[in-house]
Amino acid sequence: MSLVPLLELSGLSVRFPAEPRPVRALDGVELELLPSERLVLVGESGSGKSTLLWKIAGLLPEEAEVTGSCRFPALGRAPVPGRDVGLVLQDPFTSLNPVLSVGEQIGEVLVTHRSASWSAARQAAVVLLRRVGIPEPERRVDDPPHRFSGGQRQRIAIAIAIAAGPRLLLADEPTSGLDTVVQAQILDLLDGLVREQGAALLLVTHDLAVASRIADRIAVLYAGTLVECGPAVRILSDPRHPYSSALVAIARALEAGRIDALATVRASPGEPEAAARGCPFAPRCAFAFARCRVERPAWSGDRRAGVACHLAVP
């Protein structure tokens, strides 16, 4: 394939200065995303998945030490946040501005990035609200966020994120604050919108079931390192890294209501953190052997698929 990737991460590492020693949030991540591809980053707390998303969105705090590269080859320039990259956050109760009407918040994006007039922006806001499934948008465009339910607010946040027609939509746990029924609706909405707009989607979640609903490809992060990446169907049916396979096993056990199948990952000794040497997952891995504790497994594969495990067949 000769498609130029939209996003290309190469040896991306991020450290935060902290006492008593710096926190290594990401370590040597290799990843690419093609235009209109849907990639889901799966990881638990402390895996660095949010740090990765923030880096791509240009939201990392000043003090973060970044090495490696994060480029947008298909764009040919640095992305303009809000125009080329849209962002949907986890909590729709705090991500919207409580004092502006939802129409103004959507319109603001169009006025800023698409040089629209305010009256045109308001018209466009009505269209966008309808597209994200808000009933009677003409009547509700001037309402403030608190007049909407949690699920509706997340729809509005999505309308803001896609308003300027970004090439890449980033979503950080967009459904984890919502209940089951709304969760599925929001994922289907995101899925439909990126298809319509031909945008790429990078969604972060800790829930494999969420990933399975929307992903073309899945990348699994553990303690700041990419442990496995590949086509969603393959990861879900034939995971090669012990951590991914434990996640899949747990998700299936929960679905089946089988308590006996749950104990596949050892308790974490604390917050996971990138080890200086050896495999970061080794302390919790059921299959770890001597080499795992002294030698960090190299990434075998490329920026689209691969695994980092001494046991995995590349």
Partner 1 sequence: MTGASSLLEVADLTKRWPGAGAPAVDAVSFAIGAGERVALVGASGSGKTTLARLVLRLLEPDRGTIRFSGRDFLALRGEALRRTRAELQLVFQDPLAALDPRRRIGAQLADPLRAHGLVPRAERPAAVGALLARVGLDPALAGRFPHELSGGQRQRVAIARALASRPRLLVLDEPVAQLDVSVKAQILALLDRLHREEKLAWLWITHDLGSARIASERILVMDAGRIVEEGPTAEVLARPRAAATRALLAAELRLPPSDRVDQPLTAPSVSPRTM
- Residues at the site binding partner 1, with contacts judged by CB under 8 A: 1, 3, 32, 34, 44-45, 150, 178-185, 187, 206-210, 212-213, 230-231, 233-234, 236-238, 246-248, 250-259, 262-265, 267-268, 270-271, 301-305
In whole angstroms, the minimum distance from the beta carbon of 2 to partner 1 comes to 8
Q: Which is nearer to partner 1, 120 or 253 (CB)?
A: 253
Q: Which is nearer to partner 1, 224 or 301 (CB)?
A: 301
Determine whether 86 is exposed, middle or buried from the number of CB atoms within 10 Å of its CB (0-12, 13-18, 19+). Answer: buried
What H or E segment, with its residue span, contains residue 137? helix 137-140
Q: Which is nearer to partner 1, 261 or 294 (CB)?
A: 261
At residue 167, the 3 state secondary structure works out as coil
In whole angstroms, the minimum distance from the beta carbon of 244 to partner 1 comes to 11
CA distance linking residue 32 with residue 307, whole number of Å:
15
**CB 204 within 8 Å of CB 50:** yes
User: What tokens appear for 289 in the block?
Assistant: 């052997």
Interior angle at CA 63, CA 60 and CA 67, nearest 5 = 70
In whole angstroms, the minimum distance from the beta carbon of 310 to partner 1 comes to 20
In whole angstroms, the minimum distance from the beta carbon of 284 to partner 1 comes to 8
Q: Which is nearer to partner 1, 252 or 293 (CB)?
A: 252
CA distance linking residue 111 with residue 82, whole number of Å:
12
Q: Which is nearer to partner 1, 21 or 62 (CB)?
A: 21
In whole angstroms, the minimum distance from the beta carbon of 110 to partner 1 comes to 32
Neighbouring CB atoms inside 10 A of 47's CB total: 26
